[in-house]
Structure 1
């Protein structure tokens, strides 16, 4: 294994890049920077969607072309063509879905090397890359964030022997062969320039020893310039100590006497180090509660803007410092306050950005930064912090070596949030480093103003250690800054997609990245950002449309027959449905959705939207080109439907175990397969060639069925072999939330246990719990039974289904003929699941009733339907779709509450497609 020192020496010699040889890496960089500079002069190049906002000079300073550009990368297609392998339809490729634990590896030093708002650890991604790809394949992450997918791809080639052994052992226990070790190449994209800058530094090689030395020199040099600002006299009156942090307290006004109240001094309990719920005013003794206090402000002239601004009035209240290795605390003395006053008179360093914060959700709607005196970026920093951060940025930028310089900035930028007023004083924590609230701009009543050494000394040593144990290589990562919906990549050029996209309104990435990006001088173009943001007028439909465009781009660049893994984390069912519909409209077919059971440490498949409160992993595939071609040739025929089913079954897991027991493969349930079939034909703007009961009847005659699951003939032997080793058959988990799921539950229940109304009713009632959809009318059990099942009235022989159940569970009824009076008496009035032929007759009868009810919804004159049957809406939408009556779908959809529409995947699919068809020219 090549050492990092040797790697550093190698890149100082001749290098190969995109088929060209350069005398040195510096020559390579100079050549491509010149080409990029020319590109940046082209107005058409800058008009690309997602192009960041920044000067040519700032973009060039961040970039390291052709591997990384802080704008759309003109060489990304060349990267893929040079190092990738063209799509070959004759190549044999087959994989099953893979479940992964997205939380594993969060304590790994590489994962912790640089923080980001959300990130899946590279050690959680490695198993997927090993499963779906082979060495040399190209992996894509269009929402790459800090670049962990790239780290995982390269880690596959440099993982230590211990890790390899653990992976191989785990796969052996699962009955899978050992993986093919070796680095994979990766394409990383993100809309945020700071995200791609972090990703580039994670994924492009650098000399770790040179960085460590430069980092030490940087901190020493900054100390020589501003060290005096962080000196304080020890209580012995002689020794000078170094300040680790200074606690600043918000000053308030007592509502009773208008006296000034120092929040930290009065509200913080010295023993418990926690804020008291109430405390006495130091002037009048009135009982005070924080929420009733008035914040005090002071007027200050801002030399950078020439304006007088209102700033919250703060007081330095506590100093934590060290004298050698011992830590002390004290109240600021007159000399300490004099130093602070001297610093306030210094001009703001030119490196500190002074740009105005544009209107955004995080600073103008959610947090109101202007109330905290923050309207421009430099207002985030107290005078001393601004001086120190300015020096850090200046000296890091002045380093002569390009890769070391970039990594110094990677190192320094991690102090930006921690040295800003966003850093809260948290006395109950061991350290005050980076004690800001993640995912939000929030300025607390107590601020911990940390010194640069307090934050960065430990970080430097941890970075050195972490990157000595990780190897990256030039030519293995291509990094792009731009919109995921417009990737500069050829069609069918990517072997696998792993992605962790923004989900709904969980994180406002562009808003949160603005602070750090301002220091680089290159900021995100938030227009194409795929989030829900009321401030930017992006609601759930806009989010779904943006995600659909991104998934469509993934579909375009992914090779046919290959896979995509999507990590999903959102607690709202509507967002979950939007993602599923966006995936299906883009052309992907979902093969499995799994969640980690954190209590039992195992994976479970998701059967309903109740599971979206956990981290989910979606496994989806792009159907092979042959399936698409055959559909185009045949059209929407039953043969095309069964062709799709064949392909889908081939891509599903054959067996799954959980805690030593077999788990039902949810996607093999005939009803789920039919849902996928419908979505497939709708996506291709084609009528669905089979009704639900035609499908259910046909699927059982064409494919073997085991334990309620459908298999290909060649898959059954494997399933049967595994099933024979288990004590019991896998069980379906059903959550009743609407009429359709109620019918599904009854079907499963009655198939196992044909029952009378009286025997069934108590069991059914227990299923109708709090999970019932808000606007869905609750059906009567008697009506559900009448419409969907058959009751044995005692005439003729006892049906086989009831006979089998009774003779198995009642000893006195065993061996009796189906016409035996004793058996008939016991069987009378029991409901059972009809055989396929009778089921079709019931389905036609039921559909007429549903369509009649749908017609009443269509004819209703009121603006909104308060309660309705989802099954009637689904049947009506499907019928209207078949008749190309898109306006009826749209008009009825507008009558139901938006939440009800967004929370039903099937309705949402029909509605969204109807909108698309009416918008087409």
Structure 2
């Protein structure tokens, strides 16, 4: 795809204007930022041309792709220059991603990332000579990604330095300060020499709650020797012992010339200057000359354009608006830094560079924006913006723009990317009509996770400079201001994964990195993936402390960063199920799932997980459920091989035995201890852990000691450990063991089914005869009852019980939600 061979983007805008996520901007600004065909700050109309040139069409007759999910440890590599060059709200280091791409794909395959963020998936793919299509709703994200992934521009460092030096010559006077070292040695005939400010610390002014006099927070609360903040300190006026939280910030009214009106903001003054003089660093308290310079800057108009957009209403913008009076973008900068940024940006725009070169220099610009703003808080141990927020602290850094640029220049100089074929598009995951179906070889993506981060709000300052803004209508987040709760988040994620399912080739893999500590959001993401048609085969945890992905998990491991590996079933598998409505194909489903699992010890091979997956697949597709937990065990026993509580195909059983014989002693012990289950958060994970732990008979005390270490608080009414053991395992000679024979296993399951049935009937009776919401639910009994009602097409009872449950209970399990959604659809 050569630029000269393509139709101009200006002529194609109307073709993509109705695609979800088309940004909020004038066409002129979209075209100005874009570098077609490789990057468009709107939905990219050249994607299918890219696929046609670089991809391999899917042919079910010749396709022989057979890959198991990735198993292994992966180093993060957070100190790599590419990772450090430009901040973004979440990142997976590209060196970690490379391991997945290398495992799932071959050279020249096409990789896709629908939540590309800063583009690390692209860097990873290109380093391995893979083609990459990157997409994000946020123009700020695709802009950063494009710059990291595009073909290198010759002499860009030299070009950037020329623009920076020009700006320095024009603006260096704004950072001049009198050197106290020179002043102390001056005679009357000496000429005054200036130091160059590196940074200034500003402090809020507060009012004492007792005498109501103003005091400078830095002067009273910060220990001048240790640079630590005191929790209690004395008022300099009345000597009363006070705390920050008991004091009110002083609000001042001042003229905002950019808005042409007065504004009310927290009162702040400079308290500390770090500067450079003749190659050495010094510090001082701002003197009269420093204050005069600030007054001089504040009294003048900035000669060039800068963004003065009003900050959007949002969950993250509340704090700076209410606490600081920062209602517009320019309020997040001191006037001095805003002046220099404005001059620098104007010099980039007025240069004779082409679009690609200008954008490369703009990447330097956007890379320093956060640290150039008042978000750069002062803190002895954690200096810097508070990640994932727009929080403005009581004390912040005003860092010299030129100091920031010099530091970034060193990092950018160290970047070495093996640029390959790549393409960027700015659009929503909910609409990939501009991407051909069954065309992508692998998807790696790191989606939004509930209410953790408000991307459109956090990107707003960047996008104000770029003049192209996120269209947040389909932004998949939980956000009160946008009236999006978990239900809306789940819906948008489901629609997005459906689109990814559509463009992915059959029998191929999608890897989803997920960060959230809330079980309901973890369940929502699993639910979205499953509803889209994917089948989850492997879930691993990312150990940030040890810098590796560990191949251990349970569905409840929500306190770790998770890596979900899911596959799109083969077309013939899908067609067969749809044609027969799943009837008589339960064993086929299990076989397909086992084929996609690694032969190593894997929780997905346990009876509980296989049944849960089959149940979800059948309910999602509206198929009849023939099996309960008891006869599902018979199905497994009649068709597959069980080893150590895991189920295998015949040929896999031998591979598993070979793998197990190669393990070291400590690795075997981990499996014996049930260490594949990190947290017990429900009855299913409890039983899975116990089953793994009982590799040999153990007494109650030993089981209890280990169980307590991994059991976590939950709203699931899990039976006591002793009850779980008595009902599901065999007590023999004072020790508990796994059932050995089919007869033992069937007897236990029969008894468990009766127990769950009794619990379900009590729950149903409470729902029918009570009026209050029901809490303390035994979820396994609830799922048992819902399964039975679904089999009998008794959807009314499902809805009756669901209406009496708390919303948090419904959201805590994808299995529960599946039944309720189907039942409501059927009854309505």
- TM-score of the pair, normalised by structure 2: 0.91
Larger CA Rg, structure 1 vs 2: 1
CA distance in 2, matches of 1:772, 1:274: 36
The match for 2:219 among 253, 258, 265 is 265
Which stretch of the first structure deviates more once superposed, 452-461 or 120-129? Answer: 452-461
**1:578 — aligned with what?**
524
1:273–1:428 Cα contact (<8 Å) kept = no
Judge conservation of contact 1:788–1:846 (CA < 8 Å) in 2.
no
Distance in 2, Cα, partners of 1:229 & 1:834:
85
5+ residue gaps, structure 2: 184-191
- After superposition, the C-alpha distances for 1:706-733 in whole angstroms (9 at most, x for unaligned) are 2121111122222222333446584234
CA deviations 1:49-72 (Å, max 9, x no partner) are 211111111111111111111111
The answer to whether the 8 Å contact 1:99/1:617 transfers is: no
Mapping for residues 184-195 of structure 1, pairs under 5 Å: 184-195=130-141
Residue 327 of structure 2 corresponds to residue 375 of structure 1: yes
Out of 676, 680, 683, which is 2:620 matched to? 683
CA–CA distance in 1 between the matches of 2:683 and 2:166? 71
| Aligned twin of 1:621 | 567
Shift of 1:565: 0.7
Q: Does 1:127 align with 2:73?
A: no
When residues 635 and 410 of structure 1 are mapped into structure 2, their CA distance, relative to the original with a 3 A threshold, is same
1:470 partner SS: coil
Corresponding position of 2:419: 472
> What SS does structure 1 have at the residue aligned with 2:317?
helix
How far is 1:351 from its partner? 2.0
CA drift of 1:212 comes to 1.0
SS in 1 for 2:414: helix
Structure 1 stretches of 5 or more lacking a match? Answer: 1-16, 157-182, 656-663, 792-801, 810-825
User: What is the rounded CA distance, in whole Å, between the counterparts of 1:346 and 1:420 in structure 2?
Assistant: 20
Counterpart position of 1:533: 479
Deviation at 1:545, TM superposition (A): 1.3
Cα offset, 1:303, TM superposition:
2.0
Q: 2:654 aligns with which of 713, 717, 721?
A: 717
What is the aligned partner in structure 1 of residue 405 from structure 2? 456
Contact 2:32–2:355 (CA under 8 A) maintained in structure 1: no
After TM superposition, give the deviation of residue 736 of structure 1 in Å: 5.0
1:67 corresponds to: 38
- The answer to whether structure 1 residue 890 and structure 2 residue 799 are counterparts is yes
1:191-210 paired onto structure 2 within 5 Å: 191-209=137-155
Q: For residues 721 and 465 of structure 1, what CA distance do their matches in structure 2 show?
A: 45
**CA-to-partner distance for each residue in 1:605-650, whole Å, 9 max, x for gaps?**
4443553211111111111111112112333222x11111111111
Q: Distance between the aligned counterparts of 1:445 and 1:486, measured in 2?
A: 43
Alignment partner of 1:110: what SS?
Answer: helix
Aligned to 1:87: 58
Q: Secondary structure at the match of 1:362?
A: coil
Distance (whole Å) between structure 2 residues aligned to residue 780 and residue 269 of structure 1: 52
Shift of 1:685: 1.1
User: Is 1:221 aligned with 2:193?
Assistant: no
How many residue pairs match? The answer is 808
Name the CA distance, whole Å, in 1 between partners of 2:288 and 2:750: 92
Q: Cα distance 1:784–1:570, how it changes in 2: closer, same or farther (>3 A)?
A: closer
Greater mean deviation of Cα atoms: 383-392 or 850-859 = 850-859
Task: Select the residue among 386, 391, 402 that pairs with 2:343.
Answer: 391
Give the corresponding residue for 1:314: 268
Aligned residue number for residue 670 of structure 1 = 607
| Corresponding residue number in structure 2 for 1:502 | 448
Distance in 1, matches of 2:447 and 2:212, equals 50
Does residue 351 of structure 1 match 2:260? Answer: no
Q: Report deviation, 1:917.
A: 5.3
Report the equivalent of 1:407: 360
Pair 1:556 & 2:528 matched: no
Query: Which of 112, 119, 123 is matched with 1:151 structurally?
Result: 123
| Alpha-carbon distance in 1 for matches of 2:470, 2:417 | 29
Task: Report if aligned partners of 1:36, 1:65 keep a CA contact under 8 Å in 2.
Answer: yes
Question: Which residue of the partner structure matches residue 186 of structure 2?
Answer: none
User: For the residues of structure 2 that align with 1:529 and 1:294, how far apart are their CA atoms?
Assistant: 37
Residue in structure 1 matched with residue 10 of structure 2 by the alignment: 37
Aligned mates of 2:308, 2:361 — CA distance in 1: 22
Residues 331 and 76 (structure 1 numbering): CA distance in 2 closer, same or farther, change over 3 Å? same
Question: How many Å separate the matches in 1 of 2:178 and 2:219?
Answer: 22
1:582 CA drift (Å): 1.2
1:423 to 341, 355, 376: 376
2:317 and 2:632 map into 1 onto residues whose CA distance is: 53
Are 2:646 and 1:700 aligned?
A: no
Label 1:843 to 1:58 Cα distance change in 2 as closer, same or farther (>3 A).
Answer: same
* Cα distance in 2 between the residues matched to 1:741 and 1:271: 52
Q: Shift of the alpha carbon at 1:839?
A: 5.3
1:510-549 C-alpha deviation (Å, 9 max, x unpaired): 1100111011111111121111112222121221111111
Alpha-carbon spacing, 1:386–1:68, altered in 2? closer, same or farther (3 Å): same
Q: Is the aligned partner of 1:642 residue 2:587?
A: yes
Q: 1:887 to 1:387 in 2, by over 3 A?
A: farther
Residues 848 and 322 of structure 1: CA distance in aligned 2, closer, same or farther (over 3 Å): closer
Kindly state the Cα deviation for residue 698 of structure 1 after the two structures are TM-superposed: 2.0
Equivalent pair of 1:102/1:120 in contact (CA under 8 Å): no
* CA offsets 1:653-711 (integer angstroms, 9 cap, x no match): 012xxxxxxxx211111221111111111121101232222221121221222212111
C-alpha contact (below 8 Å) 2:199/2:400 kept by paired residues: yes
> Which residue does 1:161 correspond to in 2?
none
- In the alignment, is residue 278 of structure 1 matched against residue 278 of structure 2? no
Q: For residues 553-583 of structure 1, what are the alpha-carbon distances to aligned partners after superposition, in whole Å with 9 as ceiling and x for unaligned?
A: 1111111100011111111111111111111
Shift of the 390–696 alpha-carbon distance from structure 1 to 2, 3 Å rule, reads: same
Contact kept in structure 2, 1:667 and 1:673, CA below 8 Å:
yes
Contact kept in structure 2, 1:790 and 1:833, CA below 8 Å: no
TM superposition shift of 1:837 = 5.2
TM-score, length-normalised on structure 1? 0.82
Call closer, same or farther: CA 1:653–1:229 in 2, change over 3 Å: same
Which residue number corresponds to residue 789 of structure 2?
880
User: Alpha-carbon deviation of 1:770?
Assistant: 8.9
Question: RMSD across aligned C-alpha pairs, in angstroms?
Answer: 2.9
Pick closer, same or farther for the CA change 1:774–1:569 going to 2, 3 Å: closer
CA 1:281 to 1:750, structure 2 compared with 1: closer, same or farther past 3 Å?
closer
Aligned equivalents of 1:280, 1:446: Cα separation in 2: 18
- The 1:769/1:724 distance shift into structure 2, 3 A limit, reads closer
- With over 3 angstroms needed to count, the CA separation of the structure-2 counterparts of 1:344 and 1:738, relative to structure 1, is closer
